[in-house]
């Protein structure tokens, strides 16, 4: 099984680089399933039902989110209508939506997507380690699912790496989102779980993590309120990761970064 996971989509330029390239990548690499993190797709803050549909039409099979999930109010009721849209599972009970989804690819193989938010330098949500342990009481590789994927949305690289090692051998892949900066540590851990601390963003890198650089720099320099934060709209880079999973074990055999367009150096697997 071959999966593609796209990092946080930021603003209009981020959406464009994804919609322009996703179907081409699916065909070139015979990708079976695509996951897109869309939490910043609406001008850098949240996602809307219309944008969800754009990403699904472009070739996404599932959309994850993160700490900006509720920024656009019209997305809240959409979670009860759209099972392919996930929010972090460790929000309080009763929060709209769900943080784990059951999917199948075109060959009928079952894929479980888990979505959790870290806590260091983030909102004080429920313990993600306890939450994923509870999920794994239900879902087991080789028993009732062919692949388990975790989008771990967090700030601290240490917390993400701890989660990767905590789940090594029990899930197919643990990939981080949120910081918008791609890390250079794509690897298969000793137990067979694919791992990368952060995929990076699908957005304009002539910016400060996707926000117009002039506004962000002024905030740091003056420590005063500035103009409203706006997504940068220049030529965007699509940052993603390509994951090969062994059908017999559900574990990762290879994990490689994918980067197309914009300012970052292109990375396309052979």
Helices 128-136, 157-167: axis angle to 10 degrees equals 20
Closest CA to 101 of 77, 88, 79, 84: 84
Specify the 3-state DSSP secondary structure of 96: coil
Active site residue 68: yes
Are 241 and 34 in contact, with CB atoms under 8 Å apart?
no
* Active-site entry in 68, 115, 153, 178: 68
Closest CA to 25 of 263, 185, 259: 259
Cα end-to-end distance, the chain, whole Å: 17
- The tally of CA atoms less than 13 A away on the side-chain side of residue 125 is 24
Are 208 and 230 in contact, with CB atoms under 8 Å apart?
no
DSSP conformation class of 223: -
CA dist., res. 236 & res. 20, Å (int): 11
Q: What is the DSSP string of 142-191?
A: TTTBSEEEEEEE-S-HHHHHHHHHHHTTTSSEEEEESS-S--S--EE-TT
Q: Which residues pair with 208 in a beta bridge?
A: 211
Residues with active-site annotation: 68
């Amino acid at each position: 099984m071959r999966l593609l996971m796209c990092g946080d989509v930021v603003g209009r330029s981020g959406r464009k680089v994804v919609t322009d390239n996703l179907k081409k990548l699916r065909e070139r690499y015979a990708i079976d399933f695509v996951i897109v993190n869309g939490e910043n797709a609406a001008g850098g803050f949240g996602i809307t039902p219309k944008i969800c549909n754009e990403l699904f039409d472009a070739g996404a099979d599932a959309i994850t989110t993160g700490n900006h999930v509720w920024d656009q109010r019209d997305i809240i009721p959409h979670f009860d209508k759209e099972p392919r849209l996930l929010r972090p599972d460790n929000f309080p009970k009763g929060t709209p939506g769900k943080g784990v989804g059951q999917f199948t690819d075109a060959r009928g193989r079952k894929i479980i997507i888990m979505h959790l938010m870290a806590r260091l330098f983030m909102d004080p949500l429920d313990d993600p380690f306890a939450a994923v342990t509870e999920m794994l009481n239900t879902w087991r590789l080789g028993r009732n699912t062919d692949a388990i994927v975790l989008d771990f949305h967090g700030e601290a690289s240490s917390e993400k790496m701890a989660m990767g090692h905590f789940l090594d051998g029990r899930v197919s892949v643990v990939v981080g989102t949120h910081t918008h900066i791609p890390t250079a540590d794509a690897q298969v851990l000793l137990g067979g779980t694919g791992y990368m601390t952060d995929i990076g963003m699908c957005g304009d890198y002539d910016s400060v993590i996707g926000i117009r650089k002039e506004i962000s720099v002024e905030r740091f320099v003056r420590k005063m309120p500035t103009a409203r934060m706006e997504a940068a709209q220049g030529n965007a880079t699509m940052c993603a990761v390509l994951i090969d999973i062994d059908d017999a074990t559900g574990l990762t055999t290879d994990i490689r970064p994918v980067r197309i367009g914009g300012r970052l150096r292109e990375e396309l697997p052979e």
